[in-house]
Structure 1
């Protein structure tokens, strides 16, 4: 009987906590949508000639012949 009472108290406490949490989440205002034209256009993805990793064109390291690498270390490893 004692355990049943403890279980009932725990269940009521969980129910009250979840109810308060749900009300808190509902009272928050969602973030405003981004203004039109503020998103950057997608970047081209390039493949590293050494390891095959795909990375944005802006982050790519180019070799002398225009080959694309993900880092200077891979560019050096490919030339040696």
Structure 2
């Protein structure tokens, strides 16, 4: 009798797990993630490395890739 109850509990657990999995899989396939929107790129005024405007450090009209390059200033 113990084994019958154990088998029944395992069967119910597997059935619940597989139904949850089936329910979640189609939803993920229907709505693909939107690609990230493009960002404006700027060049570091010191070394010329391009980076997103949101990551750049600004000083006046110049953009820099790091604090050290901002401290050193723009190259002519």
Scaled by the length of structure 1, what TM-score is found? Answer: 0.49
Give the number of aligned pairs.
47
Alpha-carbon RMSD across the aligned residues, in angstroms, is 2.3
Q: Aligned partners of 1:34 and 1:61: how far apart in 2?
A: 34
Deviations 1:35-63 (Å, cap 9, x if unpaired)? 4xx32210011000000000011110001
Provide structure 2 residue ranges, at least 5 long, that are not aligned to the other structure: 1-27
Provide structure 1 residue ranges, at least 5 long, that are not aligned to the other structure: 1-30
Could you tell me which residue of structure 1 aligns to residue 32 of structure 2? 34
Bigger relative contact order, structure 1 or 2 (CA pairs below 8 A, ≥6 apart): 2
Question: How much has 1:78 moved relative to structure 2?
Answer: 1.1
Could you tell me which residue of structure 2 aligns to residue 46 of structure 1? 42
Scaled by the length of structure 2, what TM-score is found? Answer: 0.51
Could you tell me which residue of structure 2 aligns to residue 3 of structure 1? none
Choose from 61, 68, 71 the match for 1:66: 61
